[in-house]
Amino acid sequence: MNALVKTDYKFPGQTAVYKGKVRDVYSVGELLVMVASDRISAFDVILPEGIPYKGQVLNQIASHFLNATSDIVPNWLVASPDPQVSVGVRCEPFKVEMVIRGYLSGHAARTYKAGIKTLCGVQMPEGLKENDKFPEPIITPTTKASEGHDEDISREDILAKGIVSKSDYEQIEAYTRALFKRGTEMARDKGLILVDTKYEFGKDVNGKIILIDEIHTPDSSRYFYAEGYVERQAKGEEQKQLSKEFVRQWLIANNFQGKEGQKIPDMPADFVKLVSDRYIELFENITGNKFVKEDVNNIESRIERNVKEWLQKNK
């Protein structure tokens, strides 16, 4: 199966390109053309193998949720001219990512297990075990690094360092809680638990705060199956989840956590297919729609054709 791991487009009117861990963003006039590649990253490292259909899954889930939350906060999305492409308004992003956690999982659980009960200045309750629900969701921001690892940061440090103004931070904090509430409700309707997620915000040319990037995708979020959650917690069993965490666990089991000197393990073809199937499974579970696989015989030219046609029509 083909996977899109690299792009190198020259769109009409293009002025710049930014290559992220997963997305390649092309600046065209006042618009951004965001191509969701099939690359996969973990521990802030891009893994060598691409995951077929992953970009399509991410792009279509993000579009689904951006449209479903536009009544809460305005967002950057204008159109999706290809299953792996979103076109939206350019803005100036805030230098923080708003991570919100409803459960003690992932990074929070690893921190807690190490005996550290405070995360990003937030005190976590005593007596929790991994995957227990917090009494209330907690916000644990990270700095948004252009290279290398994002770093945990507290609300107090963000304000003290002037990374985000107090009024803007209070607004994106309120948006974060409202979006997580909506995401939790939408997940519950599909028999899932939205465990944790992250949101990114920016300001458009008029200074209005808008939601950017992706939301509620398996790259930015963790989901558990609701059925059996209570029973598994009572027995101390691992939760059945739909997220990228199983890729992280596979890497940890293969002695890789992104630390200096560690070698990225080769992902065998059967594991690559398993990851692809998991992404498609999440798409169908969280949206309630059947996933329609696009033709991947020549992904690069398909995207180029669809984006150029859209740009021509919307000059």
Pair (98, 228) in one structural domain: yes
pLDDT given at position 245: 76
Q: Which runs of consecutive H residues, i.e. helices, occur in 84-154?
A: 106-113
Indicate whether 21 and 143 sit together in one domain: no
Whether residue 182 is found in the same domain as residue 202: yes
78 plus 102 within the same structural domain = no
218 or 62, which is more confident: 62
Nearest to 232 by CA among 131, 147, 113, 124: 131
Is residue 8 assigned to a domain?
A: no
Q: Is the pLDDT of residue 111 over 80?
A: yes
Does some domain include residue 35?
yes
Structure confidence at residue 89 (pLDDT): 95
Closest CA to 164 of 198, 137, 201, 138: 201
What confidence score (pLDDT) does residue 219 get? 81
Tokens of 249: 């666990």
99 to 30, 66, 107, 108, 154: CA distances (angstroms): 28, 17, 11, 11, 11
Residues 132-144: tens digit of each pLDDT:
999 999 999 999 7
Q: Which one has a higher pLDDT value, 243 or 268?
A: 268
Helix (H) or strand (E) holding 298: none
Provide the pLDDT confidence category of residue 147 given band limits of 50, 70 and 90.
low
Handedness of CA 96, 38, 279, 187 (dihedral sign): positive
Q: Identify the pLDDT of residue 246.
A: 82
Do both 227 and 285 map to the same domain?
A: no
**CA 261 – CA 123 distance, rounded (Å):** 33
- 197-232 pLDDT, tens digit per residue, is 999 999 999 999 999 999 998 888 999 999 999 999
Q: Is residue 262 part of a domain?
A: no
Which amino acid appears at position 148 of this protein? G
Using only the alpha carbons of the chain, give its radius of gyration: 19
Identify whether residues 67 and 106 lie together within a single domain: no
Mean pLDDT of all residues in 245-263: 90
Both 138 and 64 in one domain: the answer is no
312 exposure class (CB count in 10 Å sphere: 0-12, 13-18, 19+)? exposed
Mean pLDDT value across the chain: 94
| Residue predicted with more confidence, 246 or 50 | 50
* Torsion sign (Cα): 130, 134, 137, 142: negative
Domain assignment present for 255: no
Is 173 within a domain? yes
Number of domains making up the chain:
2
Query: What does the alpha-carbon distance between residue 278 and residue 158 come to, in Å, rounded to a whole number?
Result: 36
Do 180 and 65 share a structural domain?
Answer: no
227 in any annotated domain: yes
Average the pLDDT over each of 60-74, 112-126, 238-252 and give the range with the smallest value. 238-252
Task: Kindly list the distances between the CA atom of residue 131 and the CA atoms of 196, 224, 233, 285, in Å, as whole numbers in the listed order.
Answer: 11, 10, 7, 21
The domain boundary residue, chosen from 226, 243, 260: 243
State if pTM tops 0.85.
yes
Assess whether 282 and 301 both reside in one domain.
yes
Q: The domain that contains 204 carries what CATH number?
A: 3.30.470.20
- Determine how many CB atoms are found less than 10 A away from the CB of residue 306: 16
Indicate if 65 and 150 belong to the same structural domain: no
Cα dihedral sign for 34, 40, 42, 47?
Answer: negative
For position 145, what pLDDT does the model report? Answer: 64
60 with 131, same domain: the answer is no
Q: Looking at the predicted structure, is the pLDDT value of residue 234 above 70?
A: yes
CB atoms within 10 A of CB 288: 11
Residue 86, in any domain of the structure: yes
Q: Is there a contact between 50 and 186 (Cβ–Cβ < 8 Å)?
A: no
Question: Tens digit of pLDDT for each residue in 173-183?
Answer: 999 999 999 99
The pLDDT confidence band at residue 167, using thresholds 50, 70 and 90, is very high
Range of the domain at 20: 14-90+275-313
Domain boundary among 194, 226, 243: 243
Q: Based on the fold, state whether residues 101 and 217 are members of the same structural domain.
A: yes
Q: Is residue 34 part of a domain?
A: yes
74, with CB counted inside 10 A (0-12, 13-18, 19+), is: middle
Give the domain-ending residue among 243, 259, 287: 243
Number of CB atoms found within 10 A of residue 231's CB = 9
- Residue 57 sits in a domain whose CATH number is 3.30.200.20
Supply the pLDDT for residue 31: 95
